[in-house]
Chains A and B, each alone.
Chain A
Amino acid sequence: MARRVAVVVFPGTNCELDVARAISSLGAHPESVFHLEDSLGSAEAVIIPGGFAHGDYLRTGALAQFSPIMESVSAFAAAGGPVLGICNGFQILTETGLLPGALQKNAGLKFLCASVGLSVASNRSVLTRTTTVGDQLQIPINHFEGNYICDRETLAQMKANDQIVLRYTDNPNGSLDDIAGVSNEAGNVVGLMPHPERASAEILGSVDGLVLLESFLAPL
């Protein structure tokens, strides 16, 4: 599975080393790509890791969409390449318009770092294609703005297209329809609030994140 994976780094990104470590443990080759670059090189997959890109100033993910690298990411996604946004990466993908909906402040108005239960809602996406619908996973969340929202038509459309990828089993943040992760219509672009890289070793308490990352890295 020795895939070359571009890990996009903005000023303020902080999960890039963790993501690199987790996917390396699966045999992938992470390549750090700074936001000022305009090419993804020969990457076969792209991950936008968590953190606080550009300080999350203005609005989470709002400034990152204007970084030069995002044009290449959009083109890569349009060509069907696998793109994964984790946490802040998910927020960036919704701001960029690669994924539907938006993430607003948690219902409890507090930052939340905790392990949560997830249920696979669709295995049509690049992140879940090796899983079975209904599979239960235990993966940490770590966010202030993880409360997923979209308008009614979008939700209906997403359901019709099987774009809801993961749901919380015990909704921690008020997300609409318990949504923890969604994909684009084609299923090659996925965003999720939980951090699969944080559930990547027995000694950390869970390896369920590897299930998702393995699926993402598997040959198309």
Chain B
Amino acid sequence: MINKATYQALGLTDDEYEAIVELLGRHPNELEVAMYSVMWSEHCSYKSSKVHLRRLPTTAPWVLVGPGEGAGVIDIGDDLAIAVRIESHNHPSAIEPYQGAATGVGGIIRDIFSMGARPIALMDPLRFGSLDDARTRYLVEGVVAGISGYGNSVGVPTVGGELVFDDCYRENPLVNVFCLGILPKSRLVFARAEGVGNLAVLLGSATGRDGIGGASVLASAGFDDSSATKRPSVQVGDPFEEKRLIEACLELLDEGLALGVQDLGAAGLSCAAAETAAATGAGMDVDFTQVPQREPNMNPIEIMTSESQERMLAIVTPENLDRVLALCARWEVRANVVGHVTDTGRFRIFSGSFTGNDPADMSRCVADIPCASLGQGPVYERPQARPLDHAEVLLADPAPALLAMFPDGTDLSGELLRLLSTPTIGDSSWVWRQYDHQLFLNTVVGPGGDATVLRLPDTERGLALSVDGKARFCRLDPRTGARLGVLEAARNVACSGAEPRALVNCLNFGNPEHPEVMWQFSQAVDGMSEACSALGIPVIGGNVSFYNESRGADIDPTPVVGVIGVIDSLSAPPPGMAFSPGEHVVTLGTTLDEFGGSEWAYVVHGIDGGSPPVADLEAARYLHGLIRDLVSRRVVSAVHDVSDGGYGVALAEMAIAGGVGASLIPEDDQSHAAWCFSESASRIVVTVSPEKLSEVLTAAADANVVARDCGTTGGTRLIVNGVFDVAVSDLATTWRSAVPLALGVNE
């Protein structure tokens, strides 16, 4: 019998342990309790988030697979589908940045090709503490090197991401990873163990002692002084093994040799085998002695729950086994029969060969549980509480102080340069130059633009992708902040002329046992749900990462979303953001005195508090429709989303991209500081040739969008009359050196 200390060390509560006893009708043994501890962990079971996630809209006519499978899948026409998933690898990366980030990439790629899709794009939203901390600099270098080292070598391009710095992530960085794959609709498969007598074949790496308890020990608890001792729970990645696995698995599916393939993720073989069987109501018997081991004398618990990377479980018929083994041998992929499908509904693990029917065999049975029970963990409706100071926080509007400091007539040139020198706004090419972002010849717009744009081979269509999160807005008000994150990602995609078709979310939050965190979570889900419903974007998958806390302090609520848009006709790249001379600069959208949570108020001036910008969903819908129309009809010459740092930063980035200045006039019924640096939502800057100016203004009026002609591009300086006047070369130098300077690296 298991003692209390053992199951508690694995993260199970007394009540959860009692529930296992009730399910089994006896006390579990050590191996069984190890499996439940992982499968019932927060990371695998979503026990605290389930009741909330049900509120998200998940359906649309083009959705083929919604949340709950390895990846979400949508139909994009031409008999093609795309599979998408996003995940976090926050805690492993905090402990061992290179391997933590690398194995995050490896894991999500396996989720994509296990659906029958070829992975063609990765994106990495990254969040770290301030770069004045030496350990943070080490984490940034390590995480980026891990993504680069694994992603480049495995042969999946990293085409975009985010790089955000805020001190709430100092001890607990956020390393999220998004992967997209493409497949002929006919190749879509599910990991299902069907057909009694069919074989479970373990593919890929030998099993070692790495990553045992990763999901329960690492991902489902916060950080404290003992965290470094959890390093053995981090797995080690081998991208070359994964590359061969991709090719072998896709070939197995193409040739109809596998009924399904399943990634070995959390809880390793035990979870993969039980899940595939539970999906059909079948059973599965496994002989753990058939699992190839990296080191001698591993015990059954280690073998069955190891999270060693680069392993898949394929379900094959006995007739096809020889062909499967030959195909795998050609790709130098290890393949071993480790079990078979039964009709018992039970997941049984044996020591040595077995038929499962001979009573003598049962003496070698080391675990015997109902398959479905691993997925029948507890569901919690945890208490929620709005933080006591929330009303106060919202009222602490930074606008009066800032507008008093910078009345109209103040030269804001220095303020603009300070914004451009913050690492969150500064050029992040130091990061993405280390990523292969061009493989497969699909990358029409790579990292650094509003959205990544990929062409789809053999079609006229393209995809626009954007990952975004607005954590500082969420801290002030999680519901509005979550709406703003969705709006920004959808706006970025619209700026490429794309129609948003799907959204995946990675919900990074603190400790769910803190009522304030559960309140933030519930509010954020509501906000995301409202924005997705208003824009007609189904949520097709996601991941919840709780326990992002350190020494009792939770991170800011950080819902990150990835929006996938489809461009119907991609004959040339979308306009991009670069100024060219002789164009009119037109702003679209409405600016208010909104500084709460803005880069200017918080990062440059250290003023916290206030309300986030208003997230007007109807205004967003009008604006997105307008810009999609203008871009797809090629009426505008340049387009740029307005986000961190407001118009000031957006205009500067357009000037830097084109190496061309502009001479503009600020809005007269608005304070100059607000016009420059307010972060009001749903705004876009476009440039347009003089001949087409009236067409754009008319289209905007017809679409209910406020448009204003601010002046013209040209020259070598970015001038806003009476507000700022800076040489484009100075803007560029400041912006380009922000990240390298903060990292202390030579460029």
Q: Interface residues, chain A, CB within 8 Å of chain B?
A: 11-12, 14-15, 17-18, 21-22, 34, 36, 51-52, 54-57, 110-114, 140, 142, 144, 195, 197-198, 200-205
The stretch among B440-448, B639-647, B666-674 that forms the contact with chain A is: B440-448
A sample of 19 more A-B contacts (CB under 8 A), given A55-B153, A140-B438, A205-B573, is: A12-B240, A14-B439, A17-B440, A21-B457, A22-B441, A52-B240, A54-B240, A111-B433, A142-B436, A142-B438, A144-B152, A198-B441, A201-B441, A202-B572, A203-B455, A203-B570, A204-B441, A204-B443, A204-B444
A-B contact pairs, 13 of them (CB 8 A): A11-B243, A11-B332, A14-B439, A18-B441, A21-B457, A51-B155, A54-B240, A110-B433, A112-B433, A197-B441, A200-B441, A204-B441, A204-B443
A204 CA / B247 CA spacing, docked (Å): 26
Residues of A within 8 A of B573 (CB): 203, 205
Residues of A within 8 A of B455 (CB): 203
A29 CA / B441 CA spacing, docked (Å): 18
A122 CA / B152 CA spacing, docked (Å): 31
The residue on A at minimum CB distance from B240 is: A55
Contact with A along B373-415 (1 / 0, CB 8 A): 0000000000000000000000000000000000000000000
A205 CA / B453 CA spacing, docked (Å): 13
**Number of B residues, CB within 8 Å of A:** 33
Contact A203 B437 (CB under 8 A): no
Residues of A within 8 A of B432 (CB): 113
Q: Interface residues, chain B, CB within 8 Å of chain A?
A: 148-149, 152-153, 155, 238-241, 243-244, 247, 330-332, 432-441, 443-444, 455, 457, 570-573
Residues of B within 8 A of A55 (CB): 153, 238-241, 243
Residues of A within 8 A of B152 (CB): 52, 111, 113, 142, 144
What are the 9 A-B residue pairs with the smallest beta carbon separation, nearest first?
A55-B240, A14-B155, A111-B434, A52-B153, A111-B148, A18-B441, A113-B436, A142-B436, A11-B244
Contact A113 B438 (CB under 8 A): yes
Q: Give the residue of B435, B438, B572 whose beta carbon is less than 8 angstroms from that of A198.
A: B438
CB of A7 to closest CB in B, whole Å: 14
CB of A160 to closest CB in B, whole Å: 36
Chain B binding surface SS class = mixed
CB of B646 to closest CB in A, whole Å: 30
Contact B434 A11 (CB under 8 A): no
Q: Give the residue of A21, A36, A110, A113 whose beta carbon is less than 8 angstroms from that of B441.
A: A21
Residues of A within 8 A of B457 (CB): 21
The residue on B at minimum CB distance from A172 is: B433
A113 CA / B444 CA spacing, docked (Å): 15
Residues of A within 8 A of B331 (CB): 11
Contact B443 A113 (CB under 8 A): no
A18 CA / B441 CA spacing, docked (Å): 6
Number of residue pairs spanning A and B whose beta carbons lie under 8 angstroms apart = 85
Interface centre among B149, B439, B443 (most CB of A within 10 A): B439
Residues of B within 8 A of A144 (CB): 152
Contact A11 B148 (CB under 8 A): no
CB of A4 to closest CB in B, whole Å: 22
A199 CA / B504 CA spacing, docked (Å): 32
Contact B434 A14 (CB under 8 A): no
Q: Give the residue of A22, A36, A57, A200 whose beta carbon is less than 8 angstroms from that of B240.
A: A57
A57 CA / B331 CA spacing, docked (Å): 16
The residue on B at minimum CB distance from A36 is: B330
A203 with B572: in contact, given A11-B240, A12-B240, A111-B434 (CB under 8 Å)?
Answer: yes
Contact B240 A113 (CB under 8 A): no
The residue on B at minimum CB distance from A204 is: B441
The residue on B at minimum CB distance from A201 is: B441
A201 CA / B442 CA spacing, docked (Å): 10
The residue on A at minimum CB distance from B444 is: A203
A113 with B434: in contact, given A55-B240, A204-B443 (CB under 8 Å)?
Answer: yes
A14 CA / B243 CA spacing, docked (Å): 9
Interface centre among B240, B244, B437 (most CB of A within 10 A): B240
A57 CA / B244 CA spacing, docked (Å): 14
CB of B669 to closest CB in A, whole Å: 42
CB of B137 to closest CB in A, whole Å: 15
Residues of B within 8 A of A11 (CB): 240, 243-244, 247, 331-332
CB of A93 to closest CB in B, whole Å: 20
Q: Give the residue of A21, A22, A57, A110 whose beta carbon is less than 8 angstroms from that of B434.
A: A110
Residues of B within 8 A of A12 (CB): 153, 155, 240, 243-244
Residues of A within 8 A of B330 (CB): 34, 36
A12 CA / B331 CA spacing, docked (Å): 10
The residue on B at minimum CB distance from A14 is: B155
A36 CA / B330 CA spacing, docked (Å): 9
A14 CA / B240 CA spacing, docked (Å): 11
A62 CA / B152 CA spacing, docked (Å): 19
Interface centre among A18, A110, A112, A203 (most CB of B within 10 A): A203
CB of B433 to closest CB in A, whole Å: 5
A173 CA / B443 CA spacing, docked (Å): 23
A56 with B441: in contact, given A11-B240, A113-B434, A113-B435 (CB under 8 Å)?
Answer: no
A22 CA / B439 CA spacing, docked (Å): 13
A15 CA / B441 CA spacing, docked (Å): 9
Residues of B within 8 A of A52 (CB): 152-153, 155, 239-240, 243
The residue on A at minimum CB distance from B570 is: A203
A144 CA / B572 CA spacing, docked (Å): 31
CB of B673 to closest CB in A, whole Å: 37
A56 with B153: in contact, given A198-B441, A203-B572 (CB under 8 Å)?
Answer: yes
A65 CA / B101 CA spacing, docked (Å): 32
A54 CA / B239 CA spacing, docked (Å): 11
Interface centre among B243, B331, B437 (most CB of A within 10 A): B243
A140 CA / B439 CA spacing, docked (Å): 11
The residue on A at minimum CB distance from B455 is: A203
Residues of A within 8 A of B572 (CB): 202-203
Residues of A within 8 A of B571 (CB): 203
Residues of B within 8 A of A21 (CB): 441, 457
Residues of A within 8 A of B440 (CB): 17-18
The residue on A at minimum CB distance from B435 is: A113
A69 CA / B152 CA spacing, docked (Å): 25
A97 CA / B436 CA spacing, docked (Å): 28
Residues of A within 8 A of B239 (CB): 52, 55
CB of A110 to closest CB in B, whole Å: 5
CB of B248 to closest CB in A, whole Å: 10
Residues of A within 8 A of B244 (CB): 11-12
Residues of B within 8 A of A198 (CB): 438, 441
A14 CA / B242 CA spacing, docked (Å): 12
Residues of B within 8 A of A22 (CB): 441
A144 CA / B434 CA spacing, docked (Å): 9
A113 CA / B430 CA spacing, docked (Å): 10
The residue on B at minimum CB distance from A22 is: B441
Residues of A within 8 A of B153 (CB): 12, 52, 55-56
Residues of A within 8 A of B439 (CB): 14-15, 18, 142
The residue on B at minimum CB distance from A200 is: B441
